[in-house]
Copies of this chain bind each other. A is one copy, B any other.
């Protein structure tokens, strides 16, 4: 018998009316004879409203209490969803993270799942009931309530799917799947029928919002097949699977773009060996996520080092950078928030070295200057001016003809198909 895990986000259950529609969708799946376990997020803006209340009573809420507070959100949505399903004549039962056996470490606000003790949920499923599990939350090894941080509900869904040995983990969202580029930027963007875990990891870390990075990592590690699809339509979405499962390999699958980063330049750094380590160790210890790094050619024993980091972390990074500049004898640091990053991702580019050149040419033809470049075996990222980002995505999308499905046979980007 098919076992399906379905995850619905906050927008999908944002109002009682939407909640009822989601309930109908779940019951329709159960009516096919499938065993269904649902993971649900807090309704719409609940989390923001709770954070607002917290800010009104405390300037620095204790992380444990913040987790206690926020987990009220899924408690509300899961109970309501179980009721809505019950109202359709199906037996549903809700489980908190703790009841569902989501055991985490003790890091409040960003806990990691250590183990899923799935017995209680499995028992409910075996009884023919629909199990509704709270996303985003768990219970720590010291018996406190924890939350998993950003993208936590996706991770809960994948973890439940892994623990239950589900045939598929369906992630319902407000878009129809993973696209070759953001459809708001490139209206002709094409929905990708299938991407590999590696491609999805690169897309997610490069700014694609559709799936949380850590849920994809968890899926890859545990071999969970993900199906990203729309809450509001019946059409097939995008499958995220093992590369080996894919019949054909696109050279370039999609383009992700990101305006959430800033560029920091440390100016006038004495060019000694080991200087980069001295620069980035304190930032790493401060929990700052450094992405791209470029070091300029040294002149007269001094150099400039630029790197990107999330804008949201600038406040934390600033005092560290000030102290660093003094310690290493640099002139100071400059912050540039007016940048954008586009990334081209495709598992097939491993065997097609011409992809980078084609991307740079497309940008040059459009008169767009590239400020930083970084690459992985299946990704090429460029930083450009923020104001030019959308056009950069468009011209690169056009260059790789991502709108067309015929791309797979193309060998114009150099070299031979992989052996």
A57 in contact with B72 given A65-B86, A86-B65, A94-B65 (CB within 8 Å): no
Are B94 and A57 in contact, with the CB atoms below 8 A?
no
Residue numbers in B under 8 Å from A84 (CB-CB): 57-58
Residue numbers in B under 8 Å from A54 (CB-CB): 79-80, 83
CB distance from A18 to the nearest CB of B (A): 10
Identify A80's interface contact among B19, B57, B92, B96, CB under 8 A.
B57
Interface residues of A in 54-95 (CB under 8 A from B): 54, 56-62, 64-66, 68-69, 71-73, 75-76, 78-84, 86-87, 92-94
Identify A99's interface contact among B16, B80, B86, B143, CB under 8 A.
B143
Provide the bound-state CA to CA distance between A93 and B66, in Å.
11
A82 in contact with B62 given A23-B57, A76-B50 (CB within 8 Å): yes
Residue numbers in B under 8 Å from A99 (CB-CB): 143
Mark contacts of A97-110 with chain B using CB atoms, 8 A cut-off: 1 yes-contact digit, 0 otherwise: 00100000000000
Are B57 and A19 in contact, with the CB atoms below 8 A?
yes
The oligomer's copy count stands at 2
Are B68 and A72 in contact, with the CB atoms below 8 A?
no
Identify A87's interface contact among B23, B58, B93, B94, CB under 8 A.
B58
Identify A68's interface contact among B68, B71, B78, CB under 8 A.
B78
Residue numbers in B under 8 Å from A92 (CB-CB): 62, 65
Are B59 and A82 in contact, with the CB atoms below 8 A?
no
Asked if A20 is an interface residue, CB under 8 A from chain B, the answer is yes
A79 in contact with B58 given A16-B53, A72-B72 (CB within 8 Å): no
A80 in contact with B53 given A65-B86, A143-B99 (CB within 8 Å): yes
CB distance from A171 to the nearest CB of B (A): 23
A79 in contact with B86 given A20-B57, A57-B23, A64-B93 (CB within 8 Å): no
Identify A57's interface contact among B16, B58, B59, B145, CB under 8 A.
B16
Residue numbers in B under 8 Å from A58 (CB-CB): 83-84, 86-87
Are A66 and B79 in contact, with the CB atoms below 8 A?
yes
Residue numbers in B under 8 Å from A81 (CB-CB): 57
User: Contact size class for A?
Assistant: 35 or more
Are A86 and B62 in contact, with the CB atoms below 8 A?
yes
Smallest CB gap from A62: residue in B: B86
Are A87 and B66 in contact, with the CB atoms below 8 A?
no
Pick the most buried of A17, A82, A143, A145: most chain B CB atoms within 10 A of its CB.
A82
Are B143 and A57 in contact, with the CB atoms below 8 A?
no
CB distance from A110 to the nearest CB of B (A): 18
Smallest CB gap from A16: residue in B: B56
Interface of A with B (CB < 8 Å)? Answer: 16-17, 19-20, 23, 50, 53-54, 56-62, 64-66, 68-69, 71-73, 75-76, 78-84, 86-87, 92-94, 96, 99, 120, 143, 145
Query: 15 more A-B contacts (CB under 8 A) besides A58-B87, A65-B93?
Result: A16-B57, A17-B56, A19-B57, A54-B79, A57-B83, A58-B83, A59-B87, A65-B79, A65-B92, A66-B83, A69-B79, A72-B73, A72-B75, A72-B79, A75-B75
List 25 contacting pairs A-B, 8 Å CB cutoff, sorted by A. A16-B53, A16-B57, A19-B57, A20-B57, A57-B83, A57-B87, A58-B84, A58-B86, A60-B86, A60-B87, A61-B83, A61-B86, A62-B82, A62-B83, A64-B93, A65-B79, A65-B83, A65-B93, A66-B83, A68-B75, A68-B79, A68-B82, A69-B75, A75-B75, A120-B143
